[in-house]
């Protein structure tokens, strides 16, 4: 019997304007952003849907990270 694989993660894409913003983040902000991206990529259904958009609002109480994702 073949071993079971973990569920696939969502693909995260960074657009050009975000790359400019990333260079302005502190180490702490980068760490919080990394945690949020990994968490959301594992479970993209986290957070609350933002009505009328494809975005979801996500907040992490541990690091205080928050983001809107599509």
pLDDT at 64: 52
User: pLDDT tens, position by position, for the chain (70 residues)?
Assistant: 666 776 777 777 788 888 899 999 999 999 988 988 888 888 888 889 999 988 888 887 765 555 555 5
Q: What pLDDT, on the 0 to 100 scale, is given for residue 15?
A: 84
DSSP codes of every residue in the chain = -PPPPPPPPPP----HHHHHHHTT--HHHHHHHHHHHHHHHH-TT-SEE-TTSS-EEEEETTTTEEEEE-
The token pair that represents 13 in the structure block: 């894409």
Tokens of 28: 């702490």
Ordered by start, the domain boundaries in the chain are 16-69
Taking the whole predicted model, whether its pTM rises above 0.75 is answered as no
Residue 67 confidence (pLDDT): 54
């Amino acid at each position: 019997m073949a071993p079971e694989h973990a569920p696939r993660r969502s693909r995260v894409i960074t657009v050009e304007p975000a790359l400019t913003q990333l260079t302005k983040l502190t180490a702490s902000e980068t760490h919080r952003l990394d945690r949020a991206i990994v968490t959301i990529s594992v479970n993209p259904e986290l957070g609350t849907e933002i009505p009328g958009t494809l975005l979801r609002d996500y907040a992490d109480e541990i690091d205080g990270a928050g983001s809107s994702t599509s």
